[in-house]
């Protein structure tokens, strides 16, 4: 795993051993950031189900103002903290150990971009989307990485599904705030 571009370009990121975390492939990560490349600069980003933090770190490397990393695994967050420190992003990143659904019920922040890559086949994205939608800014974008068979709703509150991409066994669904289009 590595940072693809930006200020930390080429930096190797630590990964957890075993099957507890499924890192996003470079191909899928590159595709995700090509989709949102013009929206990252100065954005407040949420990396929900952050695992090793590679998606949020990529966003900060590409110019995001700040990123909040949320995961319930202490082991994953230890790895995330190491990766943040290795990239020199400590001042732009906040790490929270919490169940993602509980976090969304309690948080009072607004995000411009939310990156969701939860464990597959557990129904976490459909559960999280309605709770997340209320925390998205008027220019909000939600990017969901999931198993390709999962079909997510066309709309969630103010968020409208704008595109679904397929990369082998991986699906990526993108939502944008419909207020932004008006």
Percent of the chain with pLDDT over 90: 81
Q: What is the CATH number of the domain that holds 177?
A: 3.40.50.150
- Phi-psi sector, 29: left (phi>0), alpha (psi -120 to 50), beta: alpha
The confidence band for 82, taking pLDDT boundaries of 50, 70 and 90, is very high
What is the dihedral angle through the alpha carbons of 30, 32, 37, 38, rounded to the nearest 10 degrees? Answer: 160
Domain assignment present for residue 57? The answer is yes
Token pair in block for residue 173: 């669904």
pLDDT for residue 181: 46
Report pLDDT digits (tens) over 4-30.
888 898 899 988 876 556 677 778 889
pLDDT at 182: 42
Cα dist from 24 to 3, 14, 75, 169, 181, whole Å = 12, 13, 18, 12, 29
The reported pLDDT for the residue numbered 36 is 95
Residue 173, domain member (yes or no): yes
Give the strand pairing for 111-116 and 44-48.
Answer: parallel
Per-residue pLDDT, averaged over 50-75, amounts to 96
Per-residue pLDDT band at 50 (split at 50, 70, 90): very high
Write out pLDDT tens, residues 114-166: 999 999 899 999 999 999 999 999 999 999 999 999 999 999 999 999 999 99
53, 71, 142, 153 from 147: Cα distances, Å: 19, 19, 16, 15
Q: Is residue 21 part of a domain?
A: no
Tokens standing for residue 21: 């975390």
Mean pLDDT across the chain: 92
Q: Which domain holds residue 154?
A: 26-181
In a domain, 97, yes or no: yes
- What domain count does the chain have? 1
| 52 in any annotated domain | yes
Residue 7 lies in a domain: no
Assess whether pLDDT exceeds 50 at residue 174: yes
pTM value? 0.93
In a domain, 1, yes or no: no
Q: Is residue 57 within 8 Å of residue 23, measured between CB atoms?
A: no
Assess contact for 116 and 49: CB atoms under 8 A: yes
Does 151 map to a domain?
A: yes
pLDDT at 18: 61
Output 106 or 26, whichever has higher pLDDT. Answer: 106
């Amino acid at each position: 795993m590595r940072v693809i571009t930006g200020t930390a370009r080429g930096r190797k990121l630590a990964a957890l051993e075993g099957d507890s975390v499924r890192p996003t492939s470079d191909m899928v990560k590159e595709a995700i950031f090509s989709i949102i490349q013009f929206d990252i600069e100065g954005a407040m980003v949420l990396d929900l189900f952050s695992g090793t933090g590679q998606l949020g770190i990529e966003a900060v490397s590409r110019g995001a103002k700040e990123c909040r990393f949320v995961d319930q695994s202490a082991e994953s967050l230890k790895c995330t903290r190491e990766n943040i420190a290795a990239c020199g992003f400590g001042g732009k990143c906040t790490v929270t150990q919490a169940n993602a659904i509980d976090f969304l019920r309690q948080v009072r922040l607004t995000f411009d971009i939310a990156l969701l890559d939860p464990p597959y086949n557990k129904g976490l994205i459909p559960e999280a989307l309605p709770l997340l939608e209320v925390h998205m800014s008027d220019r909000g974008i939600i990017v969901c990485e999931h198993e390709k068979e999962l079909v997510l709703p066309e709309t969630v509150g103010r968020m409208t599904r704008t595109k679904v991409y397929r990369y082998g066994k991986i699906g990526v669904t993108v939502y944008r705030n419909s207020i932004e289009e008006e």
